Amino acid sequence: MTRPVIPGFNPDPSVVRVGADYYLVTSSFEYLPGLPVYHSTDLRDWRQIGHVATRPEQVDLDRIPTPGGVWAPTLRYRDGLFHLIVTVFLGGRGCVVFTAADPAGPWSDGVPIPAVDGIDPDLAWDDDGTAIVTFARYPEPIQQVRVDLATGRALGPPRAVWAGSGRYAPEGPHLYRRGDWWYLVAAEGGTDRGHAVTVARARRPDGPFESCPGNPVLSAAGTGWEVQNLGHADLVETDSGTALVCLGVRPVGLAKSFSPLGRETFLADVDWADGWPSARLAEVPPGPAEEVIYDLGAPDVLADPVWIAVRQLPTEVAAPTPGGLLLRRTSGHTGLDGPRPAFVGRRQRHLTAVVSGVFDVREGRGGLAFRNAEDNLVALEARATGTAVEVEARVVVAGFDRTWHAALPSGDVELTIAMAPPPDDFAAGAVGGDRIRLSARVADDEVTLAELDGRHWCFETAKAFTGRVVGPFAAEGSVLVRRLRYSGGP
């Protein structure tokens, strides 16, 4: 079997090798900090070391609607400097290139490249050192333009270079020099079950490109593979040959129709024959279980790069105190179904996961939630009434809004969201999504508010391109999170 090498919401991976080290960045859309940076020495085990966008002005997400934001980066290294080129889509800064001497940061403020008016920009250099940006401009063919990276000025107009292999929506281009050939790797077939990796080559970086006779070189379309939607690949040379990283999803249940965690990063091995590549998913054994109890009173708890927030930094939402993590909803915040909730979270990384938090809600209302988008979320919200704690379970799906209620004795309340895959046989519920259980407890009193079919909160049904991000929120006033626990298995 295989597993994602970077599990949870981590799509559109781009990778670069520097010496014995590999660095990888993925898309982050409306979350800050943005563009998570990972490090590995073997392409299989990765550790997050930081983010590219640690300052809101680097990406300017304030007015960007879902599913816009920070789309499809490319990470490259040249002359002692890391370069990250990306599109901040649907009203942001457009195409921007950032630089850093250390991939863990800090990264520059970024130089916009106005001529790149599409998505998924790639960065390469011609033999004379001229920067080449190749990008997608749906529904047109893949485009290319030469650029002065210092100023962002185009050195000529963009021009079409390849219309793809004939599949839907060529995008995600990456350009490489290998021997006497320039290879153009692209994603085609849309971002769902038809997703595929295709390749073309030319003697010059600007073409003309000929399509690989074996296209697609990697796709799960029409297969029963446990990983689907394979596409958006980036190549990297290793000591033993060529590898690629790509996105994929892990659908659950009998029908393999719903993917709770969204698009994750996978690894594939690449073979070459007659100057053309082909790829197969690498066999990566299951990773270890994860059990984390966060020390929410630690002064540097929010410095951990796992924490993200929606269109704002986690420090704009929460602050550590000796008693735990204090979340406040201020006049600048919205509810969970708005663009700027008082919510701080981390990616759900396991198909089987239990997330629980102990909350003091004497000064406000709030609790525990996961979200895919403003109209796709699950929440447990508590408030104190003096003699009791009232708990509301709320689910939102594309305009449908449903709640359940319960009352518990007064005191700190523990809220739990438990998620597990459905059976993969013909048992009841096997064709749906994962099972989601929402419960609350005060001392020895516990109540289950709802048990849900998670198909409604999966990549295939949410309008967002993200995945589940789970954590505490404040709906009104201040909420103190005394303890937060994440437990996950494969």
Tokens found for residue 226:
């446990």
The dihedrals phi and psi of 289, each to the nearest 5 degrees, come to -65, 155
From CA 296, how far away is CA 300, in angstroms rounded? 9
H/E run at residue 172: strand 171-178
Among 120, 171, 360, 434, the one annotated catalytic: 171
Burial class (CB in 10 A: 0-12, 13-18, 19+), 452: buried
Other CB atoms within a 10 A radius of the CB of residue 129 amount to: 8
Residues 368 and 380 sit within 8 Å (Cβ to Cβ): yes
Q: Which of 347, 403, 342, 401 is nearest to 367 (CA)?
A: 342
From CA 434, how far away is CA 457, in angstroms rounded? 9
Other CB atoms within a 10 A radius of the CB of residue 90 amount to: 16
- 12 a catalytic residue: yes
DSSP conformation letters of 256-305: T-B-TT--EEEEEEEEEETTEEEEEE---PPPPPEEEEE-TTSTTGGGST
Among 12, 188, 234, 414, the one annotated catalytic: 12
From CA 49, how far away is CA 82, in angstroms rounded? 15
Q: Which of 357, 404, 410 is nearest to 383 (CA)?
A: 410
From CA 463, how far away is CA 453, in angstroms rounded? 18
- 171 a catalytic residue: yes
Catalytic residues: 12, 171
